[in-house]
Amino acid sequence: MVTSFENRVAGKRVILGLSGGVDSAVAAVLLQQAGAEVHALHMTNWEDDDGYCTAADDLQDARNVCEQLGIPLHHVNFSRQYRDQVFEYFLDEYRAGRTPNPDVLCNREIKFGVFRDYARRLGGDLLATGHYAQSGSVAGHGALFKGADPGKDQSYFLHAVSAEALAETVFPLGNLQKGDVRAIARDAGLSIHDKKDSTGICFIGERPFREFLATYLPAKPGPMRTPGGEIMGTHQGLMYHTLGQRKGLQIGGRNDRGEEPWYVVGKHLEDNALIVAQGEHEMLFSDWLIATDASWIGSAPAGLDDGLRCRAKVRYRQADQDCVVTALDAGKVEVRFDARQKAVAPGQFVVFYNENRCLGGAVIHQIG
């Protein structure tokens, strides 16, 4: 059951993760209006000052918001924890030829991990963030639900947060549309009401992705070939490509191949080969997948041993897909879809839903 955040925060000290963006600023406004004692906590998770990351500007925006609203601002540096618990995972996944999603780990380890511990030291009764999601309870345990705005729902990225953390968390924006949030910021006179939404990962920012990754992982050129073995060119590193990728292959416009686009359909780590195919090739599609490190919000749902019918996403903003999930061993699950899925990428997460409730998720390991 979704719980109204207003009923939970009145008279409570709420530690709000304030990023310096419009979403968390509006969360602060709504918490104040609901009678919470709001303390803002701004996190620095990346320290390289190379002109791409906006951390310094975001901190100043957070200060301005707190001054406008009259709430205290705390600032903490979690860059060491971020590198150890998130960034090293990010690099390891790319070394393994997979496509990671560090935002999921950042939420679990940082925003609802070390942040949660720090909030307790500040005397916080509850946590709050500007995520578009909703918290509640099921059978007395913390639960996660989709945000009301389907275009902004962020439950996909929050699926690995523990039930215990969710029981202590409120999401003030959960029942709002993005347009409503902008209007609230404007009506409240917040200076950042028209600030552009951040995209991607902070430590990458707007910088060229290949340039950034090459500073940590050396490029390793190799052959680009078709499933039949025909050499189509050379890639600069498997880490720069993901399954289903269409842009940047530089093999279009060949006179002998027609005009259909080319896609990445596989990677062979053994011989460092990137497999490409033209058009809607069968290798682009999957009927099933095996996922590892399954993480359930609370206890694992009933019926997994025999096959649980539910819905799933294999990427953010994908429409929910009907499937059957079956528990294997050692935290593995098999997912069989009713309809074939396009461009499922190992290293990404498959996230499971029962209507608007998020059940949890797992790391995509194998597709077929």
- The residues that are catalytic are 106, 202
Q: State phi, psi for 30 to the nearest 5 degrees.
A: -65, -40
Give the tokens for residue 119. 């909030």
DSSP 234: E
| Among 351, 345, 346, CA closest to 325 | 351
Q: State phi, psi for 236 to the nearest 5 degrees.
A: -95, -5
The runs of H, that is alpha helices, within the chain are 6-9, 22-33, 55-69, 79-82, 88-95, 102-105, 115-121, 155-158, 163-167, 178-187, 209-214
Quick one: how far is CA 9 from the chain centroid? 26
| Among 15, 51, 100, 31, CA closest to 365 | 100
Which residues touch 134 (CB under 8 Å, ≥6 apart)?
Answer: 2, 3, 144, 145, 146, 147, 148, 171, 174, 175
CA dihedral 88, 90, 96, 97 (to 10 degrees): -160
- Bridging pattern class, strands 37-44 and 13-17: parallel
Which residues touch 193 (CB under 8 Å, ≥6 apart)?
Answer: 22, 182, 185, 186
Report the alpha-carbon distance of residue 181 to residue 79 in Å, rounded.
Answer: 29
C-alpha separations of 35 from 11, 38, 149 in Å: 6, 9, 25
| Among 159, 166, 154, CA closest to 126 | 166
| Among 264, 268, 256, CA closest to 281 | 264
Find the distance separating the first CA and the last CA of the chain, reported in whole Å: 36
